[in-house]
A and B are shown apart, each in its own frame.
Chain A
Amino acid sequence: MEIIRHLSNEELADLIIQSDQQALQQTLERLPGWAQAVAERDDEFWHKQRIATWSRIASAEDRPERRLRILAWALAVATIAVSGWLLERNFVLPSPEVRVDPDHELLIEVERVVQIDGPAALEPAALLAEEMVQDLAVRDSSIRKKEPSHEN
């Protein structure tokens, strides 16, 4: 019985290459010579090429240094900007809290109640309360006027 062995892809490629090499023998043999002839340049060309390569190497090596310098400057500017902003934020004075005087509030409340539906008998008391409110207001304003002088 005849055994037919199948060629592997690699073996098949080998056969094709061998056969093509035989058919193209002349061309393939001349190829190295042709390539050398066509890529032949004078010494000046090679010298110029080396100089150009060195100049490209020099500029490529300089690039990371320049990048670092730019990065350092950018960081410095960013730090100054952020610290300036933070300082500005801290200097803004908080709005003074309104101090509430419970006595004063009580008097106002009493006056309001008296004025709304207070009986006639309480009219003197209402007048008294009004006077007290005015008095307090006057005293309060005089205290406020004095306060800046204390600060000074």
Chain B
Amino acid sequence: MDTILTTALSSPATENAKEILAERFEEIMRQHQQRVYRVIFLLVRDEDTADTLTQECFLRAYLKRASFRGECQIETWLLRIAVNLVRDHSKNRRTSFWRKLVGLDEGESAGAKPRQFPAPEPSAERTLLVREELDAVWNALSSLSPQQRAIFFLRYEEEMSLAQIAALLELKIGSVKSQLARATGKLREMKEKQWK
């Protein structure tokens, strides 16, 4: 199926092909938008930012469709774009921190508390507990780099293999392992403190 999509995505020669392309791309969005959104959301912990970055991810995928050669699955390709977008977003946030510090930017103060996961619509007791648990995990991982956090969430939340993560982030498996070890170490540290 990927090969059919790849062909349709990379050769919109006529008006008819354009329509086919739009249909195919809509299908791709329907199939993958939830996963892309979830990964971004877990990494940025902000609903609006996750929504905007998901849109940006599909926009980039559409514009760069010619560069997709079918060497990996469409989902891997989309998640790669998503993780890169999150990384760029984090960089921009860091520069905006300095801008705020020197008074060039208005908005939230530099020493603002880390954001928490917003309350999901069905506000049951269970989801509240889930939020607290996830907040605790996120706080434990907050001192890590965006890439280390991404590796952790891709491994344990998306249940991807180390080889898949390495392919997605274009890293060596050894590097993925060492970064994952650092992330799990941080989480373990936090848990052990809780238990004490």
Contacts and interface: CB of A to CB of B under 8 A. Distances in A.
Contacts of B34: 39, 41, 46
B127 A60 contact: no
Contacts of B173: 10
Q: Interface size class for chain B?
A: 35 or more
B19 to A, nearest CB: 13
B140 to A, nearest CB: 10
A28 B38 CA distance: 17
Secondary structure at the A interface, as helix, strand, loop or mixed, is: helix
B10 interface: no
Contacts of B120: 37-38, 40
Contacts of B55: 49, 52-53, 56
A50 interface: yes
B159 interface: yes
Interface in B10-48: 26, 29-30, 33-34, 37-38, 41-42
Contact of A21 (B38, B51, B126, B184): B184
A34 interface: yes
Interface string A11-42: 01110110011011001101111111111111
Contacts of B99: none
Contacts of A60: 59, 63
A149 interface: no
A30 B38 CA distance: 15
B191 A13 contact: no
A50 B26 contact: yes
Contacts of A95: none
B70 interface: no
Given A16-B185, A27-B191, A31-B137, A53 B177 contact: no
B187 A24 contact: yes
A142 interface: no
A37 B127 contact: yes
11 contacts: A14-B177, A16-B184, A17-B177, A17-B181, A24-B184, A27-B187, A30-B133, A31-B156, A35-B42, A39-B37, A60-B59
